[in-house]
Chain A
Amino acid sequence: MDFFVNLVIAAISSGTPLLFAVLGGILSERSGVVFLGAEGTMLIGAVVSCLAFVHTGSLTLAIAAAVGAAGAFGLAHAFLSVTLRANQIVCGLALTLFGTGLSAYLGKPVAGQALAVSMPRVKLPWLEPIPFVGPILANLDILVWLSFSLVIALYLYMYKTSWGLHLRAVGDNPATSDAMGLSVDRIRYVHVIAGSMLMGLAGAYLILVYSPNWMEGMTSGRGWIAIALIILAGWNPLYALGGAYLFGGLDALGFRLQLMEIGIPSYFLKMLPYIVTILVLMAAGWRGRNKPSIEPKALGVPYVREQRF
């Protein structure tokens, strides 16, 4: 019993950064902009957060710095892909390469230095007696609760508000949205920047909670996994929760199995989440092969009003 409770807690802590990143990616992609800069943006978020904490000792500032730096990345991506109409794939890859390099450089002075940080937890002692879920829910940190509320808030935002309607329309058919008097460029800017800020938050969680110790490339591919999970979640924030915790759970499980010394080489256990991601994506693709795609129709296509076809 304790094993499973601990496993779920570990899964949540490993899945939360992914969840933030997936939610951010959904925002950006729903507006029709592919954001492959996730990996680089998370790294920048993490390193900036780390530096801010080392220098000021303030958690709030550390998180704010991560969000701000990532927002700047989003602004760059929006400027290149929306205003200059550059190829979104190339811009995103460039941002990831840039973010990886820059974070390694910035992180040199603090590399390997353990951060004495503890994220405040929301204590809910009256939940404790409930079997299984009680001990899990009673002891989560505030960022996890923030991620839960973000899932619900974004769902309501996308499907129950006028802004959400605008967002979905711009990602599916910018020409129509333009003809209806919406500003395609503004909507894309806002959501790309908001999306990258969430990716920065993902980086901050990684360094402040999950593994408080800066290492070069410490995201180890989580940005890419997040991009796969966006597709798996069908661009829906509610499903993002499941995808993120699936990966988080496997990550935690692999680690635990390693401790139990069951004789499987640790490399295979570390591979587990990535392999399962590939398998799940394959299964989802196979199941949906004859169905209309739920991908935003204009994803990856810059919008030009006076384009002649």
Chain B
Amino acid sequence: MGRMAVQMLQIVKRFGQVAANDNVDFSVKQGEIHALLGENGAGKSTVMSLLSGMYRADGGDILIHGEAARIRSPRDAMQLGIGMVHQNFRLVPTLTALENIILGEKSRPWRGKAWKQDKAQEIEAICGKFGLSFPIHAPVWQLSVGEQQRVEIVKTLYRGADIILLDEPTSVLTPGEAELLFETLRELKQSGKTMIITTHKLKEVMAVSDRISVMRKGRMIATMDRSVTNTRELAELMVGRQLPEASETAPGCPGNIVLEATGMKVLADHGYPALDGVSFAVKKGEIVGVAGVAGNGQKELAEAIAGLRNWEEGAMTFLGERMEAASIRRRIDKGISLIPEDRMKSGLAGSLDLVDNLMLKSYGSAERFKLGFVRKNRNERWAQGLVDQFDVRTPGLNAPVRGLSGGNQQKLLLAREIDRKPGLMVAVHPTQGLDVGATESVHNMLIGLRDSSAGILLISEDLDEVMKLSDRVLVLYGGKIVGELGKWDIDKERIGRLMAGLGETKEAAG
């Protein structure tokens, strides 16, 4: 029995009425990798934020290495040797990796060349010791996501952390990169560091952790050794009920082509091509999955098809009409629908109620308006019908949608889009941040839409989702389609290699 690195006793943290942590007890042994498991909103991130000093607890005690600790700011956490690798990296994009790592260091105000070289050497030594590599003099925005994560890890090490918190560290990585990260974690463990990782991917938990704690709805449910549990038990603990056996998705029956894009070239925000020479087609009644690591052109692909981003070159034909230069309104009217990446940013209007949000794309139509006035009663009946049909749980039709849970917001958004009977739906990360139940509903809605003979372009970072739903998978890497796989030869390892830009064969991956 090793010493305890972290002990949290009866921790309470409230946000308004909601208890994000409800009398949580949590302890981590010195030198172990401890996985903290739970669905979104279970309270994992709150635990991490309390330990890293971003939040302050409303009640309870925290002990670090057996001594009572008051962590009131990130600085306190750092002095206790706690370092955190955030899910959304806490890096300043315009600064170099080196500058990010030494940020916050107070000694030596003047920073000449010699000083910078000393620091670079010191950092390279840490990198070498744990097998982490990245260009240390390049500005962070030029680094890949995997490299940025390594900068974050080195940052915590440089500052002398011996307890390292990693919040959803694999959510942005390819399977290959994730494996590399696990190697690093094991190295760190060898040198005596304690690590706490949060995740909702069960396979990773089984692969890397020594002990596992499961949280649900702000409470700590169980803590156990990895050796005495299995993924199924963990999943049931997370959800709190028995899960049905995973079902195979019936394949669609593709018909005529609805969308054809050829030689597509689109620029990203920074002015360089995000997509170059991309050609593909989507047929009626099929789901085409687009796999790829974030930042390889998926966002730009979705935006270019929906008309939110200009086409530099290439042609797009939708239901027989040339559309690469058409207005957004024209595309919507013709039947292109977009489920955006960030539903609260470009999908819904948070302070408006359910009825208004459902009408957002129908303004001006005779169905909803008469002589410019809203047909209130008629619209409310229609909205109630959609809410019932798609099982949106809401306190009322006139509640602002901001107050709905993420899953219900997403169901509302899909209800609006599906009700318009689109010919093509572009769905970007449609289940991101949703719990198991809502994910299931969204998947069923997408399959239902497919079976009503719409084409669907599914862009997702969740490989399991892409593999489950897609009839075909396109793999995007560096702005090009590097592979296309049919329903029957979808293979995780192969997609993973393509996503990492390693080409088709095992030898090439060597």
Interface residues of A (CB under 8 A from B): 160-163, 165-166, 168-169, 172-173, 175-182, 290-292, 294, 297, 305-306, 308
Asked whether, in the complex, the Cβ of B54 is within 8 Å of the Cβ of A169, the reply is: no
Starting from the known contacts A168-B95, A291-B271, 12 additional A-B residue pairs (CB-CB under 8 Å) come to: A160-B111, A161-B110, A165-B102, A165-B103, A168-B94, A176-B91, A176-B92, A178-B74, A179-B54, A180-B74, A291-B270, A306-B55
User: Is B506's CB within 8 Å of the partner chain A?
Assistant: no
Which residues of chain A are near B153, meaning CB under 8 Å? none
User: Is B75's CB within 8 Å of the partner chain A?
Assistant: yes
- Over the window 65-100 of chain B, the binary record of Cβ atoms lying under 8 Å from chain A Cβ atoms (1 yes, 0 no) is 000000001110010000010100011111100011
Which residues of chain A are near B102, meaning CB under 8 Å? 162, 165
User: Is B408's CB within 8 Å of the partner chain A?
Assistant: no
**A161-B99 Cα distance, complex, nearest whole Å:** 11
Q: Closest approach, in angstroms, between the C-beta of A166 and any C-beta of chain B?
A: 7
Which residues of chain A are near B108, meaning CB under 8 Å? 162
User: Is B245's CB within 8 Å of the partner chain A?
Assistant: no
Asked whether, in the complex, the Cβ of B91 is within 8 Å of the Cβ of A162, the reply is: no
Q: Closest approach, in angstroms, between the C-beta of A176 and any C-beta of chain B?
A: 4
Q: A160-B112, A162-B105, A166-B103 are in contact. Are A179 and B95 (CB under 8 A)?
A: no
Asked whether, in the complex, the Cβ of B75 is within 8 Å of the Cβ of A181, the reply is: yes
Which residues of chain B are near A176, meaning CB under 8 Å? 90-92, 100, 103
**A97-B460 Cα distance, complex, nearest whole Å:** 51
Asked whether, in the complex, the Cβ of A163 is within 8 Å of the Cβ of B109, the reply is: yes
Listed from nearest, the 10 A-B pairs whose CB atoms lie closest are A180-B104, A181-B75, A176-B90, A290-B271, A179-B74, A173-B92, A172-B92, A181-B104, A169-B92, A161-B109
Interface size on B, as a range, is: 35 or more
**A176-B155 Cα distance, complex, nearest whole Å:** 12
User: Is B52's CB within 8 Å of the partner chain A?
Assistant: yes
Q: A160-B111, A169-B103, A177-B103 are in contact. Are A305 and B92 (CB under 8 A)?
A: no
Of the candidates A169, A173, A181, A182, the one having the most CB atoms from chain B within 10 angstroms of its own CB is A181
Asked whether, in the complex, the Cβ of B15 is within 8 Å of the Cβ of A308, the reply is: yes
Query: Which residue of the partner chain A has the closest CB to B15?
Result: A308
**A297-B55 Cα distance, complex, nearest whole Å:** 23
Which residues 390-419 in B have Cβ within 8 Å of A in the complex?
none
Asked whether, in the complex, the Cβ of A290 is within 8 Å of the Cβ of B94, the reply is: no
Of the candidates B52, B90, B102, B270, the one having the most CB atoms from chain A within 10 angstroms of its own CB is B90
Which residues 253-285 in B have Cβ within 8 Å of A in the complex?
267, 269-271
User: Is B106's CB within 8 Å of the partner chain A?
Assistant: yes
**A160-B153 Cα distance, complex, nearest whole Å:** 25
Asked whether, in the complex, the Cβ of B267 is within 8 Å of the Cβ of A165, the reply is: no
Interface residues of B (CB under 8 A from A): 15, 52, 54-56, 73-75, 78, 84, 86, 90-95, 99-100, 102-112, 141, 267, 269-271
Chosen A-B contacts, 30 in total, with CB atoms closer than 8 Å, are A160-B111, A161-B111, A162-B105, A162-B108, A163-B109, A165-B95, A165-B103, A166-B104, A168-B94, A168-B95, A169-B95, A172-B93, A172-B94, A172-B95, A173-B90, A173-B92, A176-B100, A176-B103, A178-B73, A179-B74, A179-B86, A180-B78, A180-B90, A180-B103, A290-B271, A291-B270, A291-B271, A292-B271, A306-B55, A306-B56
Q: Closest approach, in angstroms, between the C-beta of A231 and any C-beta of chain B?
A: 16
**A175-B74 Cα distance, complex, nearest whole Å:** 10
**A180-B74 Cα distance, complex, nearest whole Å:** 7
Asked whether, in the complex, the Cβ of B91 is within 8 Å of the Cβ of A173, the reply is: yes
Q: A177-B103, A180-B74 are in contact. Are A290 and B267 (CB under 8 A)?
A: yes
**A181-B267 Cα distance, complex, nearest whole Å:** 37
Which residues of chain A are near B100, meaning CB under 8 Å? 176
Q: Closest approach, in angstroms, between the C-beta of A147 and any C-beta of chain B?
A: 23
Asked whether, in the complex, the Cβ of A175 is within 8 Å of the Cβ of B90, the reply is: yes
Query: Which residue of the partner chain A has the closest CB to B108?
Result: A162
**A305-B50 Cα distance, complex, nearest whole Å:** 12
Q: Closest approach, in angstroms, between the C-beta of B240 and any C-beta of chain A?
A: 24
Q: Closest approach, in angstroms, between the C-beta of A236 and any C-beta of chain B?
A: 12
Q: A169-B103, A179-B52, A181-B74 are in contact. Are A292 and B270 (CB under 8 A)?
A: yes
Query: Which residue of the partner chain B has the closest CB to A182?
Result: B104
Q: Closest approach, in angstroms, between the C-beta of B337 and any C-beta of chain A?
A: 26
Q: Closest approach, in angstroms, between the C-beta of A175 and any C-beta of chain B?
A: 6
**A180-B100 Cα distance, complex, nearest whole Å:** 9
Q: Closest approach, in angstroms, between the C-beta of A167 and any C-beta of chain B?
A: 11
Q: Closest approach, in angstroms, between the C-beta of B50 and any C-beta of chain A?
A: 11
Query: Which residue of the partner chain B has the closest CB to A306?
Result: B55
Asked whether, in the complex, the Cβ of B269 is within 8 Å of the Cβ of A292, the reply is: yes
Which residues of chain A are near B90, meaning CB under 8 Å? 173, 175-176, 179-180
**CB contact between A306 and one of B54, B95, B109, B110 (< 8 Å): that residue:** B54
**A182-B141 Cα distance, complex, nearest whole Å:** 22
Which residues of chain B are near A181, meaning CB under 8 Å? 73-75, 78, 104
Which residues of chain A are near B95, meaning CB under 8 Å? 165, 168-169, 172
Query: Which residue of the partner chain B has the closest CB to A293?
Result: B269
Of the candidates B52, B55, B75, the one having the most CB atoms from chain A within 10 angstroms of its own CB is B75
Which residues of chain B are near A169, meaning CB under 8 Å? 92, 95, 103
Q: Closest approach, in angstroms, between the C-beta of B430 and any C-beta of chain A?
A: 20
**A290-B75 Cα distance, complex, nearest whole Å:** 38
Which residues of chain A are near B78, meaning CB under 8 Å? 180-181
Asked whether, in the complex, the Cβ of B84 is within 8 Å of the Cβ of A162, the reply is: no
Which residues of chain B are near A175, meaning CB under 8 Å? 90
Asked whether, in the complex, the Cβ of A305 is within 8 Å of the Cβ of B106, the reply is: no
Q: Closest approach, in angstroms, between the C-beta of B391 and any C-beta of chain A?
A: 26
Asked whether, in the complex, the Cβ of A162 is within 8 Å of the Cβ of B93, the reply is: no
Which residues of chain B are near A168, meaning CB under 8 Å? 92, 94-95
**A279-B141 Cα distance, complex, nearest whole Å:** 31
Which residues of chain A are near B73, meaning CB under 8 Å? 178, 181
Which residues of chain B are near A308, meaning CB under 8 Å? 15
Which residues of chain B are near A163, meaning CB under 8 Å? 109
**A43-B110 Cα distance, complex, nearest whole Å:** 35
Which residues of chain A are near B103, meaning CB under 8 Å? 165-166, 169, 176-177, 180, 182
**A160-B95 Cα distance, complex, nearest whole Å:** 13
Of the candidates B86, B94, B106, B110, the one having the most CB atoms from chain A within 10 angstroms of its own CB is B94
Which residues of chain A are near B55, meaning CB under 8 Å? 306
Q: Closest approach, in angstroms, between the C-beta of A294 and any C-beta of chain B?
A: 8
**A297-B111 Cα distance, complex, nearest whole Å:** 24
**CB contact between B109 and one of A162, A177, A294, A305 (< 8 Å): that residue:** A162
Asked whether, in the complex, the Cβ of A162 is within 8 Å of the Cβ of B94, the reply is: no
Which residues of chain B are near A306, meaning CB under 8 Å? 54-56
**A180-B104 Cα distance, complex, nearest whole Å:** 5
Query: Which residue of the partner chain B has the closest CB to A291?
Result: B271
**A42-B397 Cα distance, complex, nearest whole Å:** 53
**A92-B36 Cα distance, complex, nearest whole Å:** 46
**A163-B75 Cα distance, complex, nearest whole Å:** 17
Query: Which residue of the partner chain A has the closest CB to B79?
Result: A181
Query: Which residue of the partner chain A has the closest CB to B344?
Result: A309
**A114-B167 Cα distance, complex, nearest whole Å:** 67
Q: Closest approach, in angstroms, between the C-beta of B393 and any C-beta of chain A?
A: 21
Q: Closest approach, in angstroms, between the C-beta of A168 and any C-beta of chain B?
A: 7
Of the candidates A160, A162, A177, the one having the most CB atoms from chain B within 10 angstroms of its own CB is A162
**CB contact between A305 and one of B54, B93, B112 (< 8 Å): that residue:** B54
**A166-B107 Cα distance, complex, nearest whole Å:** 12
Asked whether, in the complex, the Cβ of B52 is within 8 Å of the Cβ of A165, the reply is: no
**A306-B46 Cα distance, complex, nearest whole Å:** 11
Of the candidates B56, B73, B92, B269, the one having the most CB atoms from chain A within 10 angstroms of its own CB is B92
Q: Closest approach, in angstroms, between the C-beta of B218 and any C-beta of chain A?
A: 14
Query: Which residue of the partner chain A has the closest CB to B46?
Result: A308
